[in-house]
Chains A and B, each alone.
Chain A
Amino acid sequence: MRFERIVIFGATSAIAQATARRLAAPGVRFHLVARDAQKLDAVRGDLVARGAAATTALADLDDVDRHRALLDEAERALGSIDAALIAHGTLGVQAACEADFALTQREWRTNFVSPASLAAHLANRMEPARRGTIVAISSVAGDRGRRSNYVYGTAKGALSIFLEGLRARLHGTGVAVITVKPGFVDTPMTAGFRKGPLWSSPARIAAGIERAMQRGPGEVYLPRFWWAIMFVIRHLPEAIFVRLKI
């Protein structure tokens, strides 16, 4: 399948940039949404230099009341939407969220409410047309509540469940919902972490996203070895799990 009309939310994120770069080609048109005008301009320039066309919109995606208008704008810019990539997110400081529930709620709004709202709007627009692909970046962190990042994990876990339900609802309609669960990725979001052999690059994740888009609806761990790791982690008995310092 060829994706020629693509909207990207959180277009300046490292994974979104790497994915857009893979999809960019003459004849492909992007509509890019992000908060920072200068970053957005740099990303747009890169895709245009690769032969694609691109329009941009500035938005704080936490403002879910604006989502309808943002999608109207995207449809006006693109004509119709072949694929949407929902890639925005934040990795808050777990300790700060534990101390202040307002911060926890903000993390949930950014990492669950906002992407779920966009996916819901997209689904309602794509369903009557019986075509379209919705890709959202969730995380392996959503598979279990780990002590080190369960606030972020809650949001990503909820997002994964929401997308699973949406996928079931849209089964057989021609609209594909894809949940992407990256493991550790070396991006500006994780700049402060010590990197090890489990880490991978945004380019590698992007290659996996492109493959998943070709395959159709479903859930994908990226890189794929994370499926095995998370299989074990998901099946650890709680009595053992709560003792792990992860």
Chain B
Amino acid sequence: MIVRSWGNYPRVEHAAVVPLNWRHLPLPRLAGPLLPVGLARSYGDSCLNEGGTLLAARGLDRLVSFDREGGRLRCEAGVSLAEILELVVPHGWFLPVVPGTAFATVGGAIANDVHGKNHHVAGTFGHHVRRFELLRSGGERIECSPDSNGGLFRATVGGLGLTGLVTWAELELARAPSAWFDVETIRVEGLDHFFALSEESAAAHEYTVAWIDALAGGEHAGRGLFMRANFAAAGGPHVPPGRRLSVPFDFPALALNRGSIGAFNALYRSRGSRRWRATREPYPRYLFPLDGIAGWNRMYGKRGFVQHQSVVPRADAPRHLRAMLEAIARSGEASFLTVLKVFGDREPAGLLSFARPGVTLALDFPMRGGSTLSLLDRLDAIVREAGGAVYPAKDARMSPETFRASFPRRDEFARHIDPAFSSSFWRRVSP
């Protein structure tokens, strides 16, 4: 069966996709490697398993227990973050960390140790996982927490689904005074301005992120919009029902090109035309703007798109970011959704966690074949030279060398891999 991930690149053939529906049942006995998959929001091939079997775990979608006073939620690994928020927000709770989409599962959030706009305050998803059960191919069920079976816990957090199947997990929730965000949108004139704003905002704003016009080069490099936000004190625990648009088919390949992306960037930037703007927004619109358009990934056409998210150490970050933005400007490729954020200093939760102290740049490019791939290789070289890392959840093409350089604890991690589990990504970066 052909399965594609969120980037629509690559699309690979699988021997089988086996739905899992009950957490107490043993893993199906099948030939070939296994890989659990949830809502397949990873962009590249970390949620694919060419020639092997995908364990479709979305059917593990039950709650186990919800402590409304203490803010602890135990649920099966296929429950989506959107479902959790729908359940807990009316009780005054929130997930301490959410990525840019709510259509990811708990299992996926653990496997990629996802981060969000509040990394500088809250760390990653894995920092708030209290415990989970890991079902290994040998049939053992191992309850893991930071203190018991801690090695396996730290390997599974950020472990790309390779250490076994997470059947359920217990999450610590965070108090939320309302379901609304007070958002300030500030025009960014360039990279130096971005760093000044990040520094100034880190203490008083829980959520910060910048959108960057990656087509701008030279003195304009890094111009864009800086958005900082906190939970609104008022507004109540409910949000108006959202209207969902959808992209019903793959757009023609040419729909997103340098011209249309440039036009979009100009339009988007005009949101900040007043230099400073304050709004109150319901949490889905602020945290998950693209979730409002079902299938937005299809805008990129049949060939799909590739993401490139990297993190470079803070010290020399401006120089390396400038080098990356210049490489893009020179290449003739255009990144549509370019996002910049300063991570906090918290120690990573997992052995293979991507988020670490530094500055992260997320790019996405319509997949145009060789020219796109060679630009990404040039970006990798800059990241390696900086001593940074490239994010597996968004990757479809990094080299084994880049992977090794990004994840110095790779060998320690590899000891915890379940012998029956593997993925297209893992076989590619660990030949």
Chain A residues with CB under 8 Å of chain B are 14, 17, 38-39, 42-43, 45-46, 48-50, 188, 191
| B23/A49 in contact, CB under 8 A | no
| A42/B65 in contact, CB under 8 A | no
- Name the B residues within 8 Å of A50 (CB-CB): 63, 66, 87
Name which residue of chain A comes closest to B17, CB basis.
A191
Residues of chain B in range 9-51 having any CB-CB distance to chain A below 8 Å: 19, 21-24
- Name the B residues within 8 Å of A17 (CB-CB): 62
| B24/A38 in contact, CB under 8 A | yes
- Name the B residues within 8 Å of A188 (CB-CB): 19, 21, 59
12 example contacts (A-B, Cβ-Cβ < 8 A) are as follows A17-B62, A39-B22, A42-B22, A42-B23, A42-B24, A43-B62, A45-B64, A48-B65, A49-B64, A50-B66, A50-B87, A188-B19
Q: How far, in angstroms, from A50 to B59 measured CA to CA in the complex?
A: 18
Of B21, B59, B63, which contacts A49 at CB under 8 A?
Answer: B63
Q: How far, in angstroms, from A50 to B74 measured CA to CA in the complex?
A: 12
| Residue-wise interface mask of B (72-100) relative to A, using a CB-CB cutoff of 8 A (1 in contact, 0 not) | 00110000000000010000000000000
| Residue-wise interface mask of B (181-208) relative to A, using a CB-CB cutoff of 8 A (1 in contact, 0 not) | 0000000000000000000000000000
A56 CB to closest chain B CB (Å) equals 14
Chain B residues with CB under 8 Å of chain A are 19, 21-24, 59, 62-66, 74-75, 87
| A191/B23 in contact, CB under 8 A | no
Q: How far, in angstroms, from A49 to B22 measured CA to CA in the complex?
A: 17
Of B24, B59, B63, which contacts A46 at CB under 8 A?
Answer: B63
Name which residue of chain B comes closest to A42, CB basis.
B62
- Name the B residues within 8 Å of A43 (CB-CB): 62
Q: How far, in angstroms, from A109 to B87 measured CA to CA in the complex?
A: 39
| B22/A38 in contact, CB under 8 A | yes
B415 CB to closest chain A CB (Å) equals 32
Q: How far, in angstroms, from A43 to B21 measured CA to CA in the complex?
A: 11
- Name the A residues within 8 Å of B75 (CB-CB): 49
Q: How far, in angstroms, from A77 to B21 measured CA to CA in the complex?
A: 28
- Name the B residues within 8 Å of A42 (CB-CB): 22-24, 62
Interface of A is mostly: helix
A44 CB to closest chain B CB (Å) equals 10
Knowing that A45-B62, A46-B63, A191-B19 touch, tell me 17 more A-B residue pairs with CB under 8 angstroms.
Answer: A14-B21, A17-B62, A38-B22, A39-B24, A42-B22, A42-B24, A42-B62, A43-B62, A45-B65, A46-B62, A46-B64, A49-B65, A49-B66, A49-B75, A50-B87, A188-B21, A188-B59
Q: How far, in angstroms, from A48 to B68 measured CA to CA in the complex?
A: 12
Q: How far, in angstroms, from A48 to B62 measured CA to CA in the complex?
A: 11
Name which residue of chain A comes closest to B60, CB basis.
A42
Name which residue of chain B comes closest to A36, CB basis.
B22
Name which residue of chain B comes closest to A186, CB basis.
B19
Report, nearest first, the 6 A-B pairs whose CB atoms are least far apart.
A49-B63, A46-B62, A49-B66, A38-B24, A46-B63, A49-B65
Name which residue of chain B comes closest to A48, CB basis.
B65
Q: How far, in angstroms, from A39 to B62 measured CA to CA in the complex?
A: 11
- Name the A residues within 8 Å of B59 (CB-CB): 188
- Name the A residues within 8 Å of B22 (CB-CB): 38-39, 42
Which of A39, A48, A49, A50: most chain B CB closer than 10 A? A49
Name which residue of chain B comes closest to A18, CB basis.
B61
Q: How far, in angstroms, from A14 to B24 measured CA to CA in the complex?
A: 16
B242 CB to closest chain A CB (Å) equals 16
- Name the A residues within 8 Å of B74 (CB-CB): 49
| B63/A45 in contact, CB under 8 A | yes
Q: How far, in angstroms, from A49 to B23 measured CA to CA in the complex?
A: 16
- Name the B residues within 8 Å of A39 (CB-CB): 22, 24
Name which residue of chain A comes closest to B19, CB basis.
A191
B273 CB to closest chain A CB (Å) equals 42
A185 CB to closest chain B CB (Å) equals 13
B227 CB to closest chain A CB (Å) equals 33
B222 CB to closest chain A CB (Å) equals 43
- Name the A residues within 8 Å of B24 (CB-CB): 38-39, 42
B186 CB to closest chain A CB (Å) equals 40
B238 CB to closest chain A CB (Å) equals 15
Name which residue of chain B comes closest to A39, CB basis.
B22
Q: How far, in angstroms, from A49 to B87 measured CA to CA in the complex?
A: 10
Q: How far, in angstroms, from A50 to B86 measured CA to CA in the complex?
A: 11
B97 CB to closest chain A CB (Å) equals 21
Q: How far, in angstroms, from A49 to B19 measured CA to CA in the complex?
A: 24
- Name the A residues within 8 Å of B64 (CB-CB): 45-46, 49
Name which residue of chain A comes closest to B79, CB basis.
A46
A15 CB to closest chain B CB (Å) equals 13
A50 CB to closest chain B CB (Å) equals 6
B62 CB to closest chain A CB (Å) equals 4
A27 CB to closest chain B CB (Å) equals 15
Q: How far, in angstroms, from A143 to B21 measured CA to CA in the complex?
A: 30
B100 CB to closest chain A CB (Å) equals 23
A119 CB to closest chain B CB (Å) equals 27
Which of A17, A46, A48, A188: most chain B CB closer than 10 A? A46
B193 CB to closest chain A CB (Å) equals 46
Q: How far, in angstroms, from A39 to B66 measured CA to CA in the complex?
A: 19
- Name the A residues within 8 Å of B66 (CB-CB): 49-50
B10 CB to closest chain A CB (Å) equals 22
- Name the A residues within 8 Å of B23 (CB-CB): 42
Q: How far, in angstroms, from A48 to B63 measured CA to CA in the complex?
A: 9
Q: How far, in angstroms, from A17 to B63 measured CA to CA in the complex?
A: 12
Q: How far, in angstroms, from A39 to B21 measured CA to CA in the complex?
A: 10
A18 CB to closest chain B CB (Å) equals 9
- Name the A residues within 8 Å of B87 (CB-CB): 50
